């Protein structure tokens, strides 16, 4: 592979080196080091493409790995730099060109090739983790592993198997029927947050939608793409598209695909681009991507103005803070809808966090791979959350939910962490 293919050179040229992205970058915030900033990373990529830097130089891969791919830099970049795409390309090309140590390759193989692609394996892994948690082994094991094990030690409690069941293939609308939608069940989602999936379906049925799910796809491939496993990501993309196409047989109305995980949603909205070079799939992929909607994006405009949302509680107002998942605000540009929905719930006072658009450090599997940095990224947000006196953190992405749960637990906070679908479901009378 020549140097030029290691990076998407044309895209790096969009950067005019203005530096406006520096302050938003969590890794620059942590280190103050420009090679850990978006502008710095782009400069490194350019240097590789121009033959001034050897990509096998360990520092290069290290800077690519250190990035959370939160894409905050994209939201503030006036030149329209597409950092996420550049990063996917650079990581994937680097993985192909430079052989990682055997141990890393083994872990990646297990994770990406085996676990994420099989419901069976996912269920077993989570089952085992729960047993280890209940038996008190996991925290001990995690601590024994040192820094790398912190992720395990502070993993939120894995729900009992009764809660880790899958959604029904079909759930009928409970009110006057408005249409049919499909819901992405996800890979890790049913294991960790089956209740969020059920809340999602429940809200949709209460709004008058029949809900379909498919068991033929497990993982949409978002995690693979973000970590530079582009070939596998394409394979999983094709499987996902095919599975959802089957839900809307020719002649029937094409159901929109509602996604309650911001990371998956952002990725699925871009499958058209991922498969653009594949003549057999490019069109199908684009058609599919156009059908994908985020949960809030779908619900906000369809909630009748007359519909009251009431959160029954202690009688006191619940102070909630909404934390924008990176792949919802920066990846999909969705900021208003979740807030509109929360503002309609009676019994809830919404308070803004100034840092709501900065990354919480979850970033897919980042929190597992680099627990120390991940927690350092969350730290200032935990402080702000406490300072504004919020009692409940609302998110729209499972990774963030996990990250906040373990982060708040570490500081002994009693605040709850919920997905916006859960709160809406509670507030929406049947």
Ligand X SMILES: Cc1cc2nc3c(=O)[nH]c(=O)nc-3n(C[C@H](O)[C@H](O)[C@H](O)COP(=O)(O)OP(=O)(O)OC[C@H]3O[C@@H](n4cnc5c(N)ncnc54)[C@H](O)[C@@H]3O)c2cc1C
Residue 32: contacted member of other proteins, ligand SF4, ligand X, none (CB under 5 to 8 Å, by partner type) = other proteins
Q: How far is the CB of 306 from ligand SF4 (least distance, A)?
A: 41
Which residue intervals of 278-362 are DSSP H helices?
Answer: 282-291, 295-299, 326-332, 336-343
**Closest by CA position to 80, among listed 5, 24, 16:** 16
User: Residue 71 interacts with ligand SF4 (CB under 6 A)?
Assistant: yes
When binding is defined by CB under 6 A, the residue of 16, 172, 310, 336 that contacts ligand SF4 is 16
3-state SS string for 162-177? HHHCCCCCEECCCCCC
Residue 43: contacted member of ligand X, other proteins, ligand SF4, none (CB under 5 to 8 Å, by partner type) = other proteins
When binding is defined by CB under 6 A, the residue of 26, 228, 325, 331 that contacts ligand SF4 is 26
Tokens of 148: 């790398």
**Closest by CA position to 220, among listed 211, 209, 231, 233:** 233
User: How many residues make up the chain in this entry?
Assistant: 430
CB 97 within 8 A of CB 1: yes
Residue 300: contacted member of ligand X, other proteins, ligand SF4, none (CB under 5 to 8 Å, by partner type) = none
Residue 5 is inside which H or E element, if any?
A: helix 3-6
Cβ proximity to ligand SF4: between 207 and 359 the closer is: 359
Cβ proximity to ligand SF4: between 16 and 386 the closer is: 16
Cβ proximity to ligand SF4: between 238 and 330 the closer is: 330
Sheet of 209-212: strands edge to edge?
A: 170-171, 209-212, 179-183, 256-259, 292-294
Round to whole Å and give the CA distance between 295 and 184. 10
When binding is defined by CB under 6 A, the residue of 10, 13, 18, 141 that contacts ligand X is 18
Q: Which residues contact 386 (CB under 8 A, 6 or more apart)?
A: 411, 413
User: Residue 358 interacts with ligand SF4 (CB under 6 A)?
Assistant: no
- Coil, helix or strand for 266? helix
User: Residue 24 interacts with ligand SF4 (CB under 6 A)?
Assistant: yes
Q: Which residue has the tokens 């140590």?
A: 101
Cβ proximity to ligand SF4: between 30 and 98 the closer is: 30
Cβ proximity to other proteins: between 73 and 196 the closer is: 73
| Count of residues that interact with ligand SF4, criterion CB under 6 A | 26
- Coil, helix or strand for 323? coil
**Which range, of 17-25, 28-36, 236-244, 250-258, touches ligand X by CB under 6 A?**
17-25
Residue 73: contacted member of ligand X, other proteins, ligand SF4, none (CB under 5 to 8 Å, by partner type) = ligand SF4
Nearest 10 degrees: Cα torsion 312, 314, 319, 324: -40
Cα(first)–Cα(last) distance of the chain, in Å? 59
**What is the x/- site pattern for other proteins, positions 15-44, by CB under 8 A?**
xxxxxxxxxx---x--xxxxx-x-xx--xx
When binding is defined by CB under 6 A, the residue of 7, 8, 12, 39 that contacts ligand SF4 is 39
Q: Count of CB atoms within 10 A of residue 280's CB?
A: 9
User: Residue 308 interacts with other proteins (CB under 8 A)?
Assistant: no
Site residues, ligand SF4 (CB under 6 A): 15-21, 24-27, 38-39, 41-42, 67-73, 77, 79, 81, 83
Binding site for other proteins (CB under 8 A): 13-24, 28, 31-35, 37, 39-40, 43-44, 47, 52-53, 57, 59-60, 63, 74-80, 354
Interface residues with ligand X (CB under 6 A)? 18-20
């Amino acid at each position: 592979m020549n140097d030029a293919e290691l990076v998407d050179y044309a895209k790096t040229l969009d950067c005019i080196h203005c530096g406006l992205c520096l302050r938003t970058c969590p890794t620059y915030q942590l280190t103050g080091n420009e090679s850990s900033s978006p502008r710095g990373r782009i400069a490194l990529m350019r240097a590789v493409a121009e033959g001034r830097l050897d990509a096998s130089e360990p520092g290069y891969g290290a800077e690519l790995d250190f990035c959370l791919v939160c894409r905050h830099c994209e939201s503030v970049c006036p030149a329209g730099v597409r950092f996420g795409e550049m990063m996917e390309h650079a990581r994937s090309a680097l993985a192909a060109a430079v052989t990682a140590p055997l141990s890393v390759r083994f872990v990646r193989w297990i994770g990406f090739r085996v676990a994420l692609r099989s419901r069976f394996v996912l269920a077993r892994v989570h089952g085992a983790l729960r047993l280890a948690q209940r038996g008190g082994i996991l925290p001990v094991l995690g601590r024994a592993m040192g820094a790398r094990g912190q992720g395990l030690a502070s993993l939120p409690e894995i729900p009992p198997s009764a809660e880790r069941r899958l959604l029904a293939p079909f759930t009928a609308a409970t009110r006057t029927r408005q249409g049919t939608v499909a819901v992405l069940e996800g890979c890790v989602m049913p294991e960790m947050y089956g209740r969020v999936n059920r809340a999602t379906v429940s809200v949709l049925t209460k709004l008058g939608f029949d809900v379909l799910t498919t068991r033929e796809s497990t993982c949409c491939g978002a995690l693979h793409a973000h970590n530079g496993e582009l070939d596998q990501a394409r394979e999983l993309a094709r499987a996902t598209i095919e599975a959802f196409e089957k839900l809307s047989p020719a002649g029937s109305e094409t159901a929109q695909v509602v996604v309650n995980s911001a990371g998956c949603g952002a990725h699925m909205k871009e499958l058209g681009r991922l498969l653009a070079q594949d003549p057999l799939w490019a069109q199908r992929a684009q058609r599919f991507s156009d059908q994908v909607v985020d949960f809030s994006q779908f619900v906000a405009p369809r909630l009748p103005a007359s519909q009251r949302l009431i959160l029954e509680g202690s009688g006191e107002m619940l102070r909630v803070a909404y934390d924008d998942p990176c792949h919802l605000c920066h990846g999909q540009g969705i900021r208003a809808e979740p807030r509109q929905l929360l503002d309609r719930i009676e019994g809830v006072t919404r308070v803004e966090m100034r840092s709501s658009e900065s990354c919480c450090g979850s970033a897919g599997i980042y929190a597992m791979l680099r627990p120390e940095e991940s927690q350092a990224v969350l730290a200032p947000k935990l402080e702000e959350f406490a300072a504004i006196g919020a009692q409940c953190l609302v998110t729209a992405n499972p990774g963030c939910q996990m990250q906040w749960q373990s982060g708040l637990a570490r500081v002994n906070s009693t605040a709850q962490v919920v997905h916006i679908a859960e709160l809406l479901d509670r507030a929406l009378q049947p």
